[in-house]
């Protein structure tokens, strides 16, 4: 039995890694083609472009790992079926449940691998990649509004015209209100840098509105205490689904303190926690295909079916995330529904194969 387990684990793991390598190579090639448009901007040469593509690869690993597990498992099971190895295993007294148990153990390893990549490697590498590209092309962090970034901070509204990749803020404007929502002060600073839990402002002017008059004070440097942290600005460099769960939680907490909507980031957080489990679900979904149409189905057909199902799963994830955000669905439901649907489909087919 141990020999059989080692054989199954080895063959399936190798094929999953092969599929993962192929998918990553394809996505990296697409990234390379897209970056050719920016080649020559500033000092963005071929060397830095290649580094950017390599740093973007962990994000693709996280995205395609469940698809690689599905396709790799379906390919392996197709090969076993083609050589009648699955039939031999069943005749030898090994049940479908025992085979599934072995495959799920392989999937658990890839689930842990996916979580580690998504939580520890992707956020770091993605941030480095974006910073490298922005600095090399002499651009700044993109903002949603022409006037720059707007952030609510307690009773203050903060406007930043430019955010540099190292989280330095340029042309900062702070509008502070009292409890009755009357404007108290306006602070304008040319630059702000974060150090020792404090923002250090340079060349700041402060306009104070009092009952009968307005006065203006000028400072060469000043300190500003704020709930805003450089980590929260990661959302400008890294899309929510590629941020770490901890950074997402911190950003959600900041928005909640300032009574702002958090649905989009709640969905992203739950998806971050649930997504690695998709590797297990995909393995369960792949198992029945080893016993369906064992002779008539070619390996190419099963690979195509695996890719098709993987694409459908990714589309459903995006659709439910957007629908959940637009309709204010419970974030957990929006994140878990596609995975549950695929799990139910896999278990239903397994039950049908076992009863057949």
Q: Which residues contact 97 (CB under 8 A, 6 or more apart)?
A: none
| Rounded Cα gap, residues 52 and 133, in angstroms | 7
| Rounded Cα gap, residues 26 and 138, in angstroms | 28
- Report residues of the chain scoring pLDDT below 70: 138-147, 165, 234-237, 292-299, 356
Please list the helix, strand and coil fractions of the chain in percent, rounded to the nearest 5, in that order.
65, 15, 20
Hey, what are 342's tokens?
A: 């695929």
Q: Which residues contact 240 (CB under 8 A, 6 or more apart)?
A: 248, 264, 265, 268
Closest to 149 (Cα-Cα) out of 235, 225, 215, 253: 235
Answer for the pair 77, 287: CB distance below 8 angstroms, yes or no. yes
pLDDT for the residue 212: 79
Answer for the pair 160, 149: CB distance below 8 angstroms, yes or no. yes
Describe the strand order of the beta sheet including 198-209 as a list of residue ranges: 149-153, 156-163, 169-177, 183-195, 198-209, 214-224
pLDDT for the residue 138: 62
Handedness of CA 110, 116, 118, 122 (dihedral sign): negative
pLDDT for the residue 88: 79
For 70, 167, 269, 338, the CA distances from 321, given in Å and listed in that order, are 22, 29, 11, 10
pLDDT for the residue 77: 86
| Rounded Cα gap, residues 230 and 244, in angstroms | 14
pLDDT for the residue 22: 94
- Find the largest Cα–Cα distance for the chain: 94
Answer for the pair 282, 338: CB distance below 8 angstroms, yes or no. no
Task: Specify the 3-state DSSP secondary structure of 155.
Answer: coil
Residue range 86-138, pLDDT digits in tens:
777 877 778 788 888 899 999 999 999 999 999 999 999 988 888 888 778 76
Hey, what are 201's tokens?
A: 């402002």
pLDDT for the residue 278: 94
Answer for the pair 160, 142: CB distance below 8 angstroms, yes or no. no
Hey, what are 118's tokens?
A: 């998504």
| Side-chain-facing half-sphere of 149: CA atoms under 13 Å | 24
| Rounded Cα gap, residues 347 and 354, in angstroms | 10
Torsion, CA 116, CA 122, CA 123, CA 128, rounded to 10: 140
Helices (H) and strands (E) in the chain, counts: 11, 6
Q: Which residues contact 77 (CB under 8 A, 6 or more apart)?
A: 86, 286, 287, 289, 290, 302
Q: What are phi and psi for residue 28, nearest 5 degrees?
A: -65, -35
Answer for the pair 267, 281: CB distance below 8 angstroms, yes or no. no
């Amino acid at each position: 039995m141990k020999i059989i387990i080692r054989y199954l684990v080895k063959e399936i793991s190798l094929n999953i890694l092969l599929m993962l390598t192929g998918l990553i190579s394809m996505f990296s090639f697409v990234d390379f083609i897209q970056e050719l448009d920016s080649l020559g901007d500033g000092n963005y040469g071929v060397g830095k472009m290649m580094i950017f593509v390599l740093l973007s690869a962990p994000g693709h690993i996280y995205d395609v790992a469940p698809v690689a597990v599905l396709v790799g498992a379906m390919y392996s099971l197709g090969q076993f079926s083609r050589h009648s190895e699955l039939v031999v295993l069943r005749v030898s007294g090994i049940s479908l449940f025992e085979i599934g148990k072995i495959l799920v153990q392989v999937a658990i390893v890839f689930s842990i691998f996916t979580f580690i990549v998504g939580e520890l490697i992707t956020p770091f590498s993605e941030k480095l990649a974006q910073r490298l590209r922005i600095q090399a092309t002499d651009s700044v962090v993109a903002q949603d509004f022409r006037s720059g970034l707007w952030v609510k901070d307690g009773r203050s509204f903060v406007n930043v015209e430019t955010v540099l990749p190292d989280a330095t803020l340029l042309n900062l404007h702070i509008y502070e209100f009292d409890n009755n929502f009357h404007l108290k002060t306006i602070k304008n600073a040319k630059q702000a840098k974060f150090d020792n839990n404090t923002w250090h402002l340079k060349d700041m002017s402060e306009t104070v509105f009092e009952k009968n008059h307005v006065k203006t004070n000028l400072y060469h440097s000043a300190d500003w205490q704020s709930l805003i942290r450089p980590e929260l600005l990661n959302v400008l460099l890294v899309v929510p689904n590629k941020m770490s769960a901890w950074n997402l939680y911190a950003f959600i907490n900041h928005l909640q303190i300032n009574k702002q909507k958090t649905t989009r980031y709640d969905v992203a957080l739950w998806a971050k926690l649930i997504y690695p489990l998709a590797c297990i679900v995909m393995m369960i979904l792949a198992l029945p295909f080893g016993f369906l149409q064992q002779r008539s189905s070619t390996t190419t057909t099963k690979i195509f079916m695996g890719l098709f199902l993987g694409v459908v799963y990714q589309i459903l994830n995006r659709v439910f995330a957007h629908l959940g955000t637009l309709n204010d669905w419970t974030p957990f439901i929006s994140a878990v529904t596609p995975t549950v649907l695929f799990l139910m489909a896999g278990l239903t087919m397994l039950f049908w194969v076992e009863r057949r």
